[in-house]
Amino acid sequence: MQEITYREAILAALQEEMRRDDKILIMGEDIGPSGGPFKTCQGLYEEFGAARVRDTPIAETGFVGAALGLAITGYRPIAEIMFADFLGVCFDQIVNSIAKHRFMSGGKVKAPLVIRAIGGAGLRFAAQHSQTGESWLLSVPGLTIVCPSSPNEAYGMLRAAIRYDNPVVVFEHKALLSTKGPVDIGGPIPPLTGPKMLREGSDATIVASLAMVGRSLEAAELLAKDGIEAEVFDIRSLRPMITGPIVESVKKTNILLTVEEQAQVGGWGAEVAAQVTDAAFDYLDAPPGRVTLPDFPVPYSPPLEDSVIPSPERIAAAVKALV
Amino acid sequence: MKAKTTTRTAKTKVKPLTDKDRLALFRMMVRIREFEEEVQRSYLEGLVHGTTHLCQGQEAVAAGTGFVFRDDDYVGYTYRGHGHCLARGMDEEGAFAELFGRTTGVCGGVGGSMHLTDIDKGLIGAFGIVGGGLPVSVGAGVTAQMNGRGQLSATFFGDGATNIGAFHEAMNIAQVWKLPVLFICENNLYGEFTRINHSTPYEDLIRRAEGYAMNAVQVDGNDVEAVYAATAEAAARARAGEGPSFIECMTYRHRGHSRTDPAKYRDPKEVEAWLARDPLKLYEAALIKRKLLTREKAEAIIAEERARQRAASERAAAAPWPDTDTIDYAALTFA
């Protein structure tokens, strides 16, 4: 295990995979000699050249669509979306072309491509540059959607996504880029999908994604001081949404709380709550709880932004209200 | 009409057509026409479901361009793409079966008329969203460039698509990256039910290419040999690494936008003028003048193709529906 940042973990995954397979190329805005606005592509251009590390015009529809064209003709492209908010610009290509192309061909076409979208709040980027976007594509069959919450997950999931033979959208979080953690460099490729239990507990089950995973773990520590032991899951993949281990946990704890960095309506927490309720209704001691952003855009002013992002204290209080 | 071009290279030589080539072009146009007529008949019989977008009147574009492409080229197109598929050798029975929603269809019946495709024939996809296929063809153009084997990527679209963002992003990227992409615009003057002068600041869409400093040519899209020559020259440039081209084919659809559209919004005089310039009639006359064809021989070819399409359609109609119990949606969606 090496202690590296989330940013370095992304870069390490890209480097390793591109060294392994020369059919892999990456496209995005300012990712060439500049190394990417968030420096997740630093050095790739120098190592792999302009043909495989392509600086694109500011044209997400163009280059995300091009990724599909490359994928169905034998390459394994990666498209970097500088801010996940910009997924709105290329929604048609993702929803109507990328997600459906294999299906419409009668299962004859293979589209191995990865869209990396860097999102999330906390860095004072205001309403159009702070969305996680993680649920925007939730209702689109044909996509695989993953959300790495730590350097090790960022490294492992990106390698798994690049090797997968179907389109994957990887939601990364910019507030996590500088966070450090142990990474199993060169280790086995982890499963691309499915939740992971990060803390054991018997009194409540907390399910979170991206930056909310760390805050939920902090909340669990606060709760432990009051004698409440929370079990914490990283949801990891939103599509497919695999809730089996979460259901098992709720059967033990009888309490479910989801934590996500986006508005409540249309969030993935509702789907987790529905699936758990379907499978373990009789085990629930309280209605499933959800901690989210308010139903408004993300504000700019630091005290305002800080107050809308779920804090460990807010998550802990939500658990206490349920137990 | 006289062809307009913006930039030109004198270097590229176009292979002249032989008499055999000319007869093949004529037959392909007849095949596409008879296929579409059979689709129309089948639709009225209730065999084709939902909607379908026919290309009668635009056959010279599909036949003339298709004659230029190599087997390893990539071709992307739209919901009005039956002709492009046939020009690339798609099996007609499989095509009809797809339109009929049968299990023997080229996409197993899950795609339908708007999504006829066959990747093994370099048919990378039919896109039902206006302009949606252009960025994908740009990606296939990157593949062609990276492979370094002189392949090209051609993408077909209508005049209406030149107003959507995807068109502009695709044109821009293709030119900046000097990709071997042919942007083939079938300017049939109508985007759905709206005439071009109501949606676009000018009717000569070749002007779109000027904004991207792209090599461009405007041809009579009802003159199959003119389409062939313009495409062959643009293809030679692309294969030689000289970058993309925009080819505007001026043409007209004989029918409405889709099967439920009687196209009453068109001036009857305009329709009459274009029907008089039916690409099949024009080419038949040209080949009779060259003594390659007689009226009787032309009729015989038409009768052969009509019978061929009829037989393919009948076989397709006899094929079973997909089985709702055994269909494997997961395997269709994920590799």
Task: Give the CA distances from residue A151 to residues A16, A158, A190, A265, B279, in Å, rounded to whole numbers and listed in that order.
Answer: 15, 11, 13, 29, 62
> What band does B2 get if pLDDT is binned at 50, 70 and 90?
low
Which residue in chain B has the smallest CA separation from A167? B334
The tally of domains found in chain B comes to 1
The reply to whether residue B169 touches residue A166, judged by beta carbons under 8 angstroms, is no
Closest CA–CA distance from residue A39 to any residue of chain B (Å): 23
Residues of B in contact with A142 (CB under 8 A): 333-334
Residue B323 lies in a domain: no
Task: Give the CA distances from residue B216 to residues B16, B159, B248, in Å, rounded to whole numbers and listed in that order.
Answer: 21, 15, 8
Domain boundaries, chain A: 2-183, 196-322
The reply to whether residue B110 touches residue A77, judged by beta carbons under 8 angstroms, is no
Closest CA–CA distance from residue A146 to any residue of chain B (Å): 16
Residue B321 lies in a domain: no
The reply to whether residue A67 touches residue B138, judged by beta carbons under 8 angstroms, is no
**Catalytic site positions of A:** 60, 129
Q: In CATH terms, are A2-183 and A196-322 the same topology?
A: yes
Q: Model-level pTM?
A: 0.96
Residue B3 lies in a domain: no
Dump pLDDT digits (tens) for A116-127.
999 999 999 999
Residue B9 lies in a domain: no
For the segment A277-291, the average pLDDT, to the nearest whole number, is: 98
Residue B64 lies in a domain: yes
Dump pLDDT digits (tens) for B110-165.
999 999 999 999 999 999 999 999 999 999 999 999 999 999 999 999 999 999 99
Dump pLDDT digits (tens) for B178-201.
999 999 999 999 999 999 999 999
Dump pLDDT digits (tens) for B269-323.
999 999 999 999 999 999 999 999 999 999 999 999 999 999 999 999 999 999 9
Instruction: Tell whether the model's pLDDT for residue B9 goes beyond 80.
Output: no
Residue B332 lies in a domain: no
Flag the least confident range among A36-40, A225-229, B144-148, B152-156: A36-40
pLDDT attached to residue B10? 45
Residues of A in contact with B173 (CB under 8 A): 56-57, 59, 62-63, 66
CB A16 within 8 A of CB A159: yes
Residue B335 lies in a domain: no
Of A68, A44, A35, which is closest to residue A168 (Cα–Cα)? A68
Residues of B in contact with A104 (CB under 8 A): 107, 110-111, 115, 117, 125
DSSP-derived secondary structure for B139-174: HHHHHHHHHTSS--EEEEEEGGGGGSHHHHHHHHHH
Closest CA–CA distance from residue A284 to any residue of chain B (Å): 32
Count the helix, strand and coil residues of chain B and give each as a percent rounded to the nearest 5: 45, 15, 40
The reply to whether residue A141 touches residue B331, judged by beta carbons under 8 angstroms, is no
Q: Identify the CATH number of the domain defined by range A196-322.
A: 3.40.50.920
pLDDT attached to residue B11? 55
Which CATH number covers residue B214?
Answer: 3.40.50.970
The reply to whether residue A97 touches residue B127, judged by beta carbons under 8 angstroms, is yes
Which of B107, B115, B143 has the CB atom closest to A69's CB atom?
B143
CATH architecture of A2-183: 3-Layer(aba) Sandwich (3.40)
For the segment A289-306, the average pLDDT, to the nearest whole number, is: 98
Q: How many CA atoms lie within 13 A of B29 on its CB side?
A: 27
Residue B135, domain extent: 18-313
